[in-house]
Amino acid sequence: MLKKIPLLAVFFLLATGTLMAADYGDAIITASIGDASTLVPILASDSASQDICGLVFNGLVRYDKDLNLEGELAESWEIKEGGLVIIFHLRKNVKWHDGRPFTARDVEFTYQKLIDPDVKTPYSGDFERVKSLEVLDDNTVKVTYKEPFSPGLSSWGMWIMPKHILEKEDLSNTKFSRGPIGTGPYKFKEWKTGEKIVLVSNPDYYEGRPYINRYIYRIIPDQATTFLELQTQGVDEVGLTPLQYARQTDTQFFKKYYRKYKYPSFGYTYMGLNMKDPLFAGRRVRLALDHAIDKDEIIKGVLLGLGRVSTGPFPPESWAYNKDIRSVPYDPKKAKELLKEAGWEDRDGDGWLDKDGKRFKFTLLINQGNDPRKTSAEIIQRRLKEVAIEVDIRPVEWATFLSEFIDKRRFEAVIMGWGLSRDPDSYDIWHSSKQRPGEFNFVGYENKEVDALLEAGRREFDREKRKEIYNKIHRLIFADHPYIFLYVPDALPIVHARFKGIEPAPAGISYNFIRWNVPKEEQKYTRW
């Protein structure tokens, strides 16, 4: 859920064998189809908000390029009493962007807000297991858990907030949400709603000033328009659609001015069903929908083969993935049989299923501007029509999609995706207690056995025993079909060739963003 951008070395070993400093300067312009919703870090749940927060804020820990935990605001830590206690030793001389010192009191404040029932944060589940948090001194924090909590260390990748600014603020209604102060490598500069968010490099960053002076996050609601911006070099970095990656960028122009990358994304795309809607209340109906949708057709036609079928809540790259689970096969005949067993038949001869005088019809929400999801929705619409189910597709602008439909559960079905934490703890997504507005179990999934296993997975430290637990969770959730698990897409970023220092790793390419640089002679934006 959290994206972290660590800072590595600041020198490059040239072919001559000499060390030479990289050049400062230039700007990077990236693009998103959706605007951020809030820059209060513990409320930021959408990818746009997280992209910005990941540059403005820091957590106590982060994942390195090889996906191992390392210190960020915490210089080191001690784990005691079998995992019940973690003592964090914080970095000294770290400053907030307004010049005030970062201290243990900021960690304490962030924790208090995370467990405050009046704060609508989707991340509270990780911190409800904390028995106490003690400030031992300005640079030392002692966290004691009620019981052993295996994701405890990684959970402190949560971005820390400034107590001196937010102590008396209502986090759901604060100017800070559009003008944040962090400790991260970039400072907030401006936000023009629906247009752009601008960040500037932090010269006082504790690991050194970033090489790129400005980070400009443009909001371009349509992916075709974004592609036109790439062709005019108005955008430097963006995630490509499969069509753009496989066909439209295979030209001399793109080979000269850009570099493409491909690696498995740590997440999946799904069609979520509102479990509180009577239409989807029966497991037999949800299984029928799964049989009626051809996932392979979506992967071939939408992803052009740049992805794989998803079988549940963990991607294949996760050690928690249950390799024995097979995707529900495309079988419209079976789908019709299941629907008939559930009482759905075409009784009036109009070509659509009905039951108790009501047609089997629902609206499928998608976020506006996402071409792969739009095409996936159209394939789903066509396949469900073949089993006499009527589907309307409704694209909605991203911020409205989240605030008015997802958070308020005003939907029947949606196509969305999860970007996941490397730790398989998925309590916040699947536990039945996480259904408040703004929380992640917005489909209303409830399974007491899954609840118990999610709780057990958090108490177990042995990797193999945890794997057994999460394999069971994988099997049970898949069998319940609260989502129609569609696909695990490949990440397909493209970056302008003038940016140097990009080193692909298991963590992707953004883990060392601060190391990216542009030689003076290639810098494009010199007046900032």
> Residues 372-383: pLDDT tens digits?
999 999 999 999
Rounded Cα gap, residues 406 and 401, in angstroms? 6
Distances from the Cα of 356 to the Cα of 311, 344, 346, 347, angstroms = 33, 9, 11, 10
Q: Which DSSP string do the residues of 259-293 spell out, in sequence order?
A: EE--EE-SEEEEEEE-TTSGGG-SHHHHHHHHHHS
Per-residue HEC secondary structure of 129-187 comes to CEEEEEEEECCEEEEEECCCCCCHHHHCCCCCCCHHHHCCCCCCCCHHHHCCCCCCCEE
Radius of gyration of the chain (CA): 24
For the chain, what are the domain ranges?
Answer: 55-173, 267-490
Which residues is 197 bridged to in the sheet?
Answer: 191, 217
Q: In the structure, what pLDDT confidence band is assigned to residue 527 with cuts at 50, 70 and 90? A: low
Q: pLDDT value at position 49?
A: 96
Strand partners for 198 = 190, 216
Residue 228 in contact with residue 200, Cβ under 8 Å? no
pTM recorded for the entire structure: 0.89
- Contact status, residue 54 vs residue 2, Cβ threshold 8 Å: yes
Q: In the structure, what pLDDT confidence band is assigned to residue 21 with cuts at 50, 70 and 90? A: confident
For 338-355, give the DSSP string. Answer: HHHHTT-B--SSSSS-EE
CB 66 within 8 A of CB 512: no
Q: Which residues of 481-490 are buried (b: 16+ CB within 10 A; e: fewer)?
A: bbbbbbbbbb
Q: How confident is the model at residue 82 (pLDDT cuts 50, 70, 90)?
A: confident
Measured between alpha carbons, how far is 158 from 353 in angstroms, rounded to an integer? 47
Predicted local confidence at residue 399, as pLDDT: 87
Per-residue model confidence as pLDDT tens digits over 262-306 = 999 999 999 999 999 999 999 999 999 999 999 999 999 999 999
- Residue 271's closest CA among 352, 389, 425? 389
Task: Check residue 19 and give its pLDDT.
Answer: 42
Mean pLDDT of the chain: 93
Is the distance from CB of 206 to CB of 213 less than 8 angstroms?
no
Q: How many CA atoms lie less than 13 Å away from 419 in the CB half-sphere? A: 16
Range list of H helices, 416-482: 427-430, 448-459, 463-480
The C-alpha atoms of residue 443 and residue 480 are separated, in whole angstroms, by 13
Sign of the alpha-carbon torsion through 339, 341, 343, 346: positive
Higher-confidence residue: 526 or 152?
A: 152
User: What is the distance between the alpha carbons of residues 122 and 261, in angstroms, rounded to a whole number?
Assistant: 31
pLDDT of residue 162: 98
Whole-number pLDDT of residue 177: 97
According to CATH, the superfamily of the domain at 267-490 is Dipeptide-binding Protein; Domain 3 (3.10.105.10)
- Nearest alpha-carbon partner for 86 in 32, 38, 129: 129
CA 183/CA 110 separation, integer angstroms: 14
* 3-state percent helix, strand, coil for the chain, nearest multiple of 5: 30, 25, 45
Residue spans of alpha helices (H) in 293-370: 295-301, 332-341
Count CB-CB contacts under 10 A for residue 408: 12
Contact status, residue 391 vs residue 280, Cβ threshold 8 Å:
no
Hey, how many other C-beta atoms are within 10 angstroms of the C-beta on 188? Answer: 21
**Tokens of residue 343, six digits:** 């009482």
Task: Band the pLDDT of 20: cuts 50, 70, 90.
Answer: low
- Picking from 364, 361, 323, the residue whose alpha carbon sits closest to that of residue 484 is 364
Residue 75, both tokens: 């210089």
Summarised one tens digit per residue, pLDDT across range 361-417 is 999 999 999 999 999 999 999 999 999 999 999 999 988 999 999 999 999 999 999
Which residue type occupies 86?
I
For residue 314, the model assigns a pLDDT of 97
What fold is seen in the domain 55-173?
Dipeptide-binding Protein; domain 1 (3.90.76)
62 forms beta bridges with 70
pLDDT band at 528 (very low <50, low <70, confident <90, very high): low
Picking from 199, 200, 201, 166, the residue whose alpha carbon sits closest to that of residue 40 is 166
Q: Residue 5: its pLDDT value, please?
A: 33
- Residue 13 in this model has a pLDDT that exceeds 80: no
Helix (H) or strand (E) holding 22: none
- From CA 295, how far away is CA 483, in angstroms rounded? 13
pLDDT tens sequence across 187-203 = 999 999 999 999 999 99
In the numeric block, which tokens belong to residue 301?
A: 């036609």
User: Quick check: 37 and 226 in contact, CB under 8 A?
Assistant: no
Backbone angles phi, psi at 323, to 5 degrees: -70, -10
Q: Give the DSSP H or E segment for 382.
A: helix 371-385
Tallying the residues shown for the chain, one arrives at: 528
Q: The tokens of 348 are what?
A: 């009036």
Q: How far apart are CA 103 and CA 113, in angstroms?
A: 16
The two three-digit tokens of residue 490, written as one number: 């490949």
Q: Are strands 361-367 and 413-419 parallel, antiparallel or unpaired?
A: parallel
**Is pLDDT above 60 for 45?**
yes
Residue 412 DSSP SS3: coil
